[in-house]
Amino acid sequence: MCGAYPPLCRERSLLVEILSNGAARTVTGSCHLVTLDDRRILIDCGFFQGPKELEKRNREPFPFEAGNLDAVLVTHGHLDHVGRLPKLVREGYRGPIYATRATREIAEIILRDAAHLQREDYQRALRKARRAGRESLIAPPLFDEEDVRATLALFREPVEFATPLALGRTLHVTFQPAGHVLGSAWIELATPHLRVTASGDLGNRESALQAPATLPRECDVVLIETTYANRNHRSREATREEFRQVVTAAVARGGNVLIPSFALERTQQVLYQLRQLLELGEVPRVAVYLDSPMATKFTKLYQTCKNEFRPEVEKLLEEGDDPFEPETLSYTVSTEASKALNEVKGGAIIVAGSGMMTGGRIRHHLKHNLWRQEASLVVVGYQASGTLGRALVDGAKRVRIFGETIAVRARIHTIGGFSAHADQDDLLRWLKASGNAKVLLVHGEEAVMEGFQGLLEGLGRRVILPRPDTPVAF
């Protein structure tokens, strides 16, 4: 199959090899080794997240020599894209890491937090194991704060969007806006004979915050995420209206309104919508608390980045107005300030992590509010099976929190439109721009990928679902 871009067809010899260590037939653990122009380039090095069996893969050796890589490119700061970078460095990688400025800053916050959590988990497990005389069974943390420091030292000058970076004799890489979270990029690797494009995570074009992803040019091989390749999202306006109705109804009940939220992007979307609704008087005036130190750090970062958002958000930032701070917002950073919220019986909106209610400060607020019939829980994100959030969405009458049984009398609302990922239409539009490129599907559930593969093959595309650690050559 020759597209309008001929060089690959002229040279039949092997030009590029792609090996997916993570996000191959699964969603997390993004890590793709691209070998071309005598260069070994790693795109992302993320954590496997989810069931224990999958998380075990974080401890497996890389299927390549860390010390032999020439460069690492990071598409964005989510843990499933950066979480194994310190392990890579611990195993001998000393080369450059390239990312946008925001991605570097997000990665720093995420990796420091991950090292801290691992140390705490390890110490807790060790204390328990010592009492049982089984301390030798406890695996040490995958990396520590020192590994994170060494990793951060390898980040080079921030990459600018749309500015090619020379990485080899003839190889240039270019980061382009992906519209997924702050700093997110898709990346093109180009030689005079070949172009390979990797999507990273692509954004939802109906996001109220991020400007939509730019489209790729024709290329030979494209690696694309498939998180939501089987569905389409609601429009921005429909989501905003749904959120307005839910918040209005929740505030009218008189109790507190709890919004569990991921710290990066989802929280800023929620704050942005609340600010608009409060300013326009579309919801009653009510105090808003952001009770998450990590979400507060990310929000401060969002306030400093003007050039990645939709024009209306950018305009507010340029005018010195803050799109992420509702007038009634308080940041509760200290533990004491967070605890003081337990005394608030009603009339407050509390935004806190974690998004699936598996940890973080939201659990304290759930304990103090779920049993009150005037309280409301507004769920704005996907709840994986087995999580407290999923149990609540599925209608549990009682839940266990901090060893206590809590009756669920609060009203529970769910809103589906806040996704930060491209939907099927977004992915199809993006792929269409890549011309006749061969398509490698990654970063999705296998069944979703297979469905999308069928759809693409029906459109005449050649599609491959890479197996983990199994190279694909062109």
User: Which has the closest alpha carbon to 267: 339, 326, 316, 320?
Assistant: 326
Q: Minimum distance from CB of 73 to Zn ion (Å)?
A: 15
- How does DSSP assign 12-52, residue by residue? -S--EEEEEEESSSSSS--EEEEEETTEEEEE--PPP-SSH
Q: Name residues whose C-beta falls within 8 Å of residue 113's C-beta, 6 or more positions apart in sequence.
A: 294
Between the CA of residue 148 and those of 144, 170, 272, what are the distances in Å? 7, 32, 32
Q: What's the distance, Cα to Cα, between the start and end of the chain in Å?
A: 12
Count of residues of this chain found to bind Zn ion when the rule CB under 5 A is applied:
2
Between the CA of residue 99 and those of 405, 415, 423, what are the distances in Å? 46, 32, 25
Would you say 201 or 291 has its CB closer to Zn ion? Answer: 201
Cross-strand bridge partners of residue 73: 43, 98
Structure tokens at 172: 């240039």
Task: Looking at residues 221 to 240 of the shown chain, list those that interact with Zn ion (rule: CB under 5 A).
Answer: none
Would you say 147 or 201 has its CB closer to Zn ion? Answer: 201
Q: Which region among 86-94, 126-134, 198-206, 275-283 touches Zn ion (by CB under 5 A)? A: 198-206
- How does DSSP assign 279-320, residue by residue? HTTSS---EEEE--HHHHHHHHHHTT--TTB-HHHHHHHHTT
- How does DSSP assign 323-347, residue by residue? TT--TTEEE--SHHHHHHGGG--SS
Q: Minimum distance from CB of 180 to Zn ion (Å)?
A: 6
Would you say 55 or 322 has its CB closer to Zn ion? Answer: 55
Q: Minimum distance from CB of 79 to Zn ion (Å)?
A: 9
Residue from 37, 44, 201, 291 that binds Zn ion (CB under 5 A)?
Answer: 201
Task: Looking at residues 119 to 178 of the shown chain, list those that interact with Zn ion (rule: CB under 5 A).
Answer: none
Q: Which region among 42-50, 75-83, 427-435, 464-472 touches Zn ion (by CB under 5 A)? A: 75-83
Would you say 178 or 348 has its CB closer to Zn ion? Answer: 178
HSE of 287, CA atoms in CB hemisphere, 13 A: 15
Q: Which region among 72-80, 87-95, 379-387, 452-460 touches Zn ion (by CB under 5 A)? A: 72-80
Amino acid residing at 294: M
Would you say 37 or 105 has its CB closer to Zn ion? Answer: 105
Would you say 419 or 434 has its CB closer to Zn ion? Answer: 419
Using rule CB under 5 A, residue 39 touches Zn ion: no
* 361: DSSP letter: T
Q: Which region among 194-202, 267-275, 398-406, 444-452 touches Zn ion (by CB under 5 A)? A: 194-202
Q: Minimum distance from CB of 46 to Zn ion (Å)?
A: 9
Q: Which region among 71-79, 102-110, 143-151, 159-167 touches Zn ion (by CB under 5 A)? A: 71-79
Would you say 201 or 426 has its CB closer to Zn ion? Answer: 201
Cβ atoms of 205 and 426 within 8 Å: the answer is yes
Q: Which region among 74-82, 191-199, 305-313, 459-467 touches Zn ion (by CB under 5 A)? A: 74-82
CA–CA dist 379, 181 (Å, integer): 20
Binding flags for Zn ion, 76-105, as an x/- string (CB under 5 A): --x---------------------------
Binding site for Zn ion (CB under 5 A): 78, 201
